[in-house]
Amino acid sequence: VQLQASGGGLVQPGGSLRLSCAASGSIFDINAMFWYRQAPGNQRELVAGIGSAGSTNYADSVKGRFTVSRDNAKNTVTLQMNSLKPEDTAVYYCNAVIRSTSGSTYYPYWGQGTLVTVSS
């Protein structure tokens, strides 16, 4: 099982970016999917999460600006980021809790991270 994230880049304050993450491999089922971020010198923090039925949760710092969504048919999770601020600068990681076809247990898997830089 692999997670592949994409969509990071440089954007000016107030701009928008869309991050995507695709899960691939021997997947039986995906439970929750998440986006985390880690800024230099900081711990990794949860940004947003979405359950298998579509329930969502967000960090207070991104509520009203970020929207997480998923496509269960394509095994993808997306993070739409609007009104970006310099403090949103970080490496963003996707995470998914997945049951593979070779077992009955769900495990967390991580994508490789994609850098988002918000700067003028």
User: Cα angle at 91 between 90 and 92, to 5 degrees?
Assistant: 105
Query: Given the DSSP bridges, would you call strands 66-71 and 45-50 parallel, antiparallel or unpaired?
Result: unpaired
Beta strand pairing call for 76-81 and 66-71: antiparallel
Mean pLDDT confidence for 9-18: 98
Residue whose structure tokens are 């969509």: 7
Question: How far is CA 110 from each of CA 5, 24, 28, 56, rounded to the nearest angstrom?
Answer: 9, 12, 17, 19
Whether the per-residue pLDDT at 17 is higher than 90: the answer is yes
Tens of pLDDT, residue by residue over 31-76, are 999 999 999 999 999 999 999 999 999 999 999 999 999 999 999 9
Pairing of strands 27-38, 45-50: antiparallel
